[in-house]
Amino acid sequence: MLRFIMAMCCVFGMIGPAAADEVFQFPQDPDEAEFIANEVIATFYHEIGHGLIDVLQIPVLGKEEDAADTLSVILMHDIWKEDSAAAILVSDALTYALRAGDLSIAPDPSVYADEHSLDIQRYFAVVCLFYGANPDMRRQLAVDLGLPDDKLESCPDAYLNARWSWDAMLAGTEPTQDTFGLVMAEGQEGMPLADLLAEEVASINQQFGLPEEITVTVADCGEANAFYTSDDKTITMCNEYAQDLQHLWQSQ
**What span, in angstroms and rounded, lies between the C-alpha atoms of 206 and 199?**
11
Residue 234 phi/psi, 5-degree rounding, is: -130, 135
Residue 20: per-residue pLDDT: 46
Q: Which parts of the chain register pLDDT below 70?
A: 1-22, 100-117, 252
Residue 97: per-residue pLDDT: 83
Pairing of strands 234-238, 214-219: parallel
**What span, in angstroms and rounded, lies between the C-alpha atoms of 108 and 87?**
31
Residue 117: per-residue pLDDT: 58
Residue 101: per-residue pLDDT: 64
Domain limits of the chain? 57-172, 173-252
Tell me, what DSSP letter sits at residue 111?
G
Q: Work out the angle at residue 119's Cα, subtended by the Cα atoms of residues 143 and 135, and round it to the nearest 5 degrees.
A: 30
Residue 109: per-residue pLDDT: 62
Residue 177: per-residue pLDDT: 93
